[in-house]
Structure 1
Amino acid sequence: MGDTSLPRRAWAGGLMALGLAACGRVVTARPTPTLSPAPAVRTPTATPVVLRLPTATPVYTPTPSPTPVIYVVQPGDTLYGIALRFGVSVAALQEANGITDPTRLPVGQELIIPSPGPAGEGASPRLPTPTPMALLIPTIRCAASAMGSLGCIGEVINPQPHPLINVQIQITLRDGEGREIGSGIAGTALDVLPSQGRSPFALVFNAVPAGYARADARVVRAESVQEPGSLYGPVEVLRTEDREEGADRIVRGEVRNADQRPLRRINVVVAFYDAQDRLLGYRQVVFAEAPTAPGAAQAFEVRFPAREAKTFRVLAEGQR
């Protein structure tokens, strides 16, 4: 039972807590969202919590100072995103911190943020200009939690003939008259959105704003690449099976490193849908304790409330 698809490779993020286990391996599992409707708590403001990627607009530009600016790496950060946030180049960040491999950025590492140079000398980061592409967002669902937060979840589909990276979705909360009362930026569960592929996204607001009536979503950033580059490698979904156990639906399966090189990280996303093929939520498992050798397989298992879930899709990607 289940509608499965075979993506090339995957990462992740999430809203609510989950526990995941993989057969024969200890894996790093991330909390991923499940929407549970509950009475909305009315509070004056709602602060969005970005789950995956930094916003496309730099929010802080440090001024030259004898005291260096220090940034502590957070879960989901990339060197590219940090450079964009502080208005410096990736090369300047690497040089200031002695980083030789920009793909390895440990959570908790302290980074020295270099001051932007004078005009004409690298004051602006040499980063691609965000160019939103024509993507599809079939639905977006938001529900209040018992703790008073508002969780929003949706799915983005790439109809373009090439893969996309750095996909960001703006979620806007509106009142009954359509006025904006809050917004935030969400990233996709997959780092790379393949051509004709899809990925879920999620965002949590820490409170339900007064007057909240509905939410809408639009793509504000998406960059096309002919190939995902040397950082990513293909992952094959070998098998999947599902069954109901009490109130849960359990999905088990295996993914295989289909690359010719080891993958230091494999990201598996299992998305669940109702009878109308509307996204209900997703679970995510990340294998990152040790590199996965070429041809080697990893087993995964996830649980999801079975009340509404009728079908599922397994998405996977690997990082070299």
Structure 2
Amino acid sequence: MKHGSDSARVDDMFTRVRSGAGFIAALDQSGGSTPQALRLYGISEDSYSSPAEMFDLVHRMRTRVITSPAFNGDRILGSILFEDTMDREIDGRQTGEYLWEVKGIVPFLKIDKGLAAQAHGAQVMKPIPELDALLIRAVSRHMFGTKMRSVITMPGPGLDAVVAQQFAIARQVLRFGLVPIVEPEVDIHSPDKAGAEDQLRTAIREELDGLGEDQPVILKLTLPERDDHYREFVDHPRVVRVLALSGGYSRADANTRLARNHGMIASFSRALTEGLAADQTDAQFTAALDAAIASIVAASRT
């Protein structure tokens, strides 16, 4: 995957994501999920009075995470960013540039605009207007890849619609030299989670087998009910890496489940920032983040 004169940098990123040790940190809460992320961090909704103030606060939180000595490329392969974060700076550098040049962490951009209403047991993504323009900007901001999330609650035609949409947009992303993270999340509270995962594995396999040699993707999947359920994708020639999302499991539960799924590595969000608080001293914050990262790395080694 190459971006013209940046080809050496992109090749280095590709090698790191494919074969490096560690996990992918998801710092991509968007407008809808940011209030909850701030609330868990100890910042209540009466602390801000506009979306602009809210995004300033969450960028301050993310900056504290990213600049922490605990957050480094020795243990973290990549980080998924919200569009607002991509467009901001950390210590005078664009966020993506800071991540790669200072921390050795590969930057990804969340590109979806949220979920459509549930239909047939699943939620496809809402339309993504002007996606080509966003992808061009992502390349200019030194992003390596993208991420997009759908949600599956039950087996059925809705699941197939989710997978078809995910891979259609993945092909669009690939045309810009970016590597897409395909994320068809299975709701951990699904009344037939194992059945949905059986259907999902078949649907993903069919899509992967239809990709060309120059169309690599990353899969981000809910930790499955059956251990090693997605093991075949770890060695698939079109798959760069298989990531696990925590999906609402506690960090302890997510880590336990992840350790039983060989070849998968974490891409946690809430499970990563669990236990971090705005009123912690820098030493307390670093210690809490370091412990979280160490536990997720250990679970990702299997």
Q: Same fold (TM over 0.5)?
A: no
Q: Larger relative CO (CA 8 A, sep 6+): 1 or 2?
A: 1
Higher strand share: 1
- The structure with more helix, counted as a fraction of residues: 2
TM-score (norm. length: structure 2): 0.25
TM-score (norm 1): 0.24
Larger Rg: 1
